[in-house]
């Protein structure tokens, strides 16, 4: 009998901790920082959209390179180091053009990292895929620690310290990547030899799934770009706002803990459908009733569905839809279409925020989530679970 290699749980988890700590420092506070620098809502939307636009290009390029060379861990380490170096250019100038360049450069390398690391993690979890959520939840914990800590920090200190905080977290990503052992997906899947990426992409429900990924991230545009500013204008303090962001991620963590049991009983199609429907409800609540704390608390708890169950089910679907030699491209396309949707969401919300107002901006997001629910209901078959 062949011995099963132990899973390097803490090494994998530490990378997710730092990687999503960076997301926890950008999603709630990047727009706030640009507002602090004096940019308009339209310019803020554009600057926030640039890293998301990089997700349309970078993951596919790096994903192809990872599948072609098999050197995924080297790509992760190179991308992490270049992310740190290129973002450090922010200390040189704060002009719009310079910040746009910094956003583009660091995102090109940052978005090389996660899809390749997801493949490495799943390779370590051979035969134990249900444990993915138990490792990924440390990313949520990193997000919580950062969003609460920075929310408090920015109540005491100026937002001028914000870039320093990001550089420290990026350094954590670099060092944690050096601690992770390599692993390769097994080349035993019959599809690896007999089918190419495009043929697998044309499988039942796969294209519909990727279209829904873009719509889901488009619907998150106002949330990730303007929620902090929206709540500040409603009178919430930065400390409270940080805790509200954290509440959403706590709900996400609890969902990750439950996902292995949920997916054992409920099809991926049904999990995705429920996630989209609850997303549509959440955006309506945030756009129209966020001045009521109890409604805001409910809306943040729904992050368990709009990110937690959606992401876990999506990763599960991608892994089952592609062969071993196409896993990197499958994960990269997931990241790229998420970036496309996120960029469009940031752009439209940036232009509509002042023109149409928060309620209408979030209503558009709700319609996008409903459209994704319709696509899943009509185009994805139950036997894809």
Angle in degrees, CA 157, 162, 165, rounded to 5: 105
Distance CA 167, CA 132 (A): 28
Distance CA 349, CA 356 (A): 9
For residue 21, the model assigns a pLDDT of 96
For the chain, the structural domain boundaries read: 9-384
Distance CA 289, CA 147 (A): 23
Nearest to 109 by CA among 164, 172, 48, 174: 174
Tokens 């997801």 label which residue? 118
CB 29 within 8 A of CB 150: yes
CB 324 within 8 A of CB 188: yes
- C-alpha torsion 158→25→178→312, nearest 10: 170
- What is the mean pLDDT for each group of 10 consecutive residues in the chain (385 residues)? 66 94 92 95 93 81 82 93 98 97 95 86 77 83 92 90 97 94 68 61 83 95 93 92 91 86 90 97 97 96 94 86 75 83 93 94 97 93 56
Nearest to 144 by CA among 296, 249, 237, 299: 249
For residue 2, the model assigns a pLDDT of 45
Q: Give helix 310-321 / helix 132-156 axis angle, nearest 10°.
A: 140
The sign of the CA dihedral 44, 47, 48, 49 is positive
Render 183-222 in DSSP notation, one character per residue: ----TT-HHHHH--HHHHHTSTTHHHHHHHHHHHHHHTHH
pTM exceeds 0.85, yes or no: no
Residues near 383 by Cβ (< 8 Å), separated by ≥ 6?
none
Residues near 184 by Cβ (< 8 Å), separated by ≥ 6?
70, 72, 123
Residues near 100 by Cβ (< 8 Å), separated by ≥ 6?
46, 47, 50
Tokens 């040189």 label which residue? 92
For residue 319, the model assigns a pLDDT of 80
For residue 384, the model assigns a pLDDT of 42
- For residue 53, the number of C-alpha atoms closer than 13 Å in the C-beta half-sphere is 14
The sign of the CA dihedral 215, 216, 217, 222 is positive
For residue 281, the model assigns a pLDDT of 98
Distance CA 301, CA 30 (A): 22
List C-alpha distances in Å: 45 to 40, 198, 224.
9, 33, 10
Integer Rg of the chain from CA: 20
User: Using one digit for the tens of pLDDT, what is the confidence trace for 254-282?
Assistant: 998 888 889 889 999 999 999 999 999 99
Nearest to 300 by CA among 188, 357, 223: 223
- C-alpha torsion 24→30→32→38, nearest 10: 170
If DSSP codes are grouped into helix, strand and coil, which group holds residue 8? coil
Distance CA 287, CA 296 (A): 10
The CATH topology of domain 9-384 is: Growth Hormone; Chain: A; (1.20.1250)
């Amino acid at each position: 009998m062949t011995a099963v290699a132990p899973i390097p749980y803490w090494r994998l988890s530490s990378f997710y901790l730092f990687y999503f700590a960076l997301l926890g420092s950008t999603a709630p506070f990047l727009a706030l920082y640009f507002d602090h620098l004096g940019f308009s809502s339209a310019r803020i939307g554009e600057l926030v959209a640039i890293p998301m636009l990089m997700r349309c290009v970078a993951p596919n390029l790096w994903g192809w390179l990872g599948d072609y060379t098999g050197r995924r861990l080297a790509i992760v380490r190179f991308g992490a180091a270049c992310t740190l170096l290129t973002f450090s250019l922010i200390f040189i100038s704060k002009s719009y053009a310079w910040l746009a360049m910094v956003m583009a450069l660091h995102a090109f390398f940052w978005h090389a990292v996660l899809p390749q690391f997801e493949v490495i993690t799943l390779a370590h979890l051979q035969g134990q895929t249900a444990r993915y959520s138990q490792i990924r939840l440390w990313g949520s914990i990193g997000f919580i620690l950062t969003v609460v800590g920075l929310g408090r920090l920015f109540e005491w200190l100026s937002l001028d310290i914000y870039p320093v905080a990001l550089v420290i977290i990026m350094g954590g990503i670099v060092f944690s990547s050096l601690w992770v052992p390599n692993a390769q997906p097994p080349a035993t899947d019959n599809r690896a030899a007999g089918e190419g990426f495009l043929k697998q992409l044309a499988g039942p429900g796969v294209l519909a799934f990727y279209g829904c990924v873009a719509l889901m991230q488009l619907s998150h545009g106002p949330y990730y770009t303007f929620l902090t500013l929206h709540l500040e204008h409603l009178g919430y303090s930065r400390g409270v706002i940080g805790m509200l962001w954290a509440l959403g991620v706590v709900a996400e963590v609890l969902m990750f803990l439950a996902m292995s049991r949920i997916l054992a009983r409920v099809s991926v199609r049904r999990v995705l459908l429920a996630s989209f429907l609850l997303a549509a409800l959440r955006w309506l609540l945030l756009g129209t009733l966020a001045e009521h704390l109890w409604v805001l608390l409910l809306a943040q708890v729904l992050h368990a569905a709009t990110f937690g169950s959606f992401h876990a089910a999506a990763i599960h679907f991608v892994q089952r839809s592609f062969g071993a030699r196409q896993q990197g491209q499958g994960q990269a396309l997931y990241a790229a279409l998420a970036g496309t949707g996120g960029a469009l969401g940031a752009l439209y919300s940036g232009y509509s925020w002042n023109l149409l107002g928060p309620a209408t901006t979030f209503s558009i997001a709700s319609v996008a989530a409903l459209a994704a629910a319709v696509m899943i209901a009509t185009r994805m078959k139950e036997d894809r679970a």
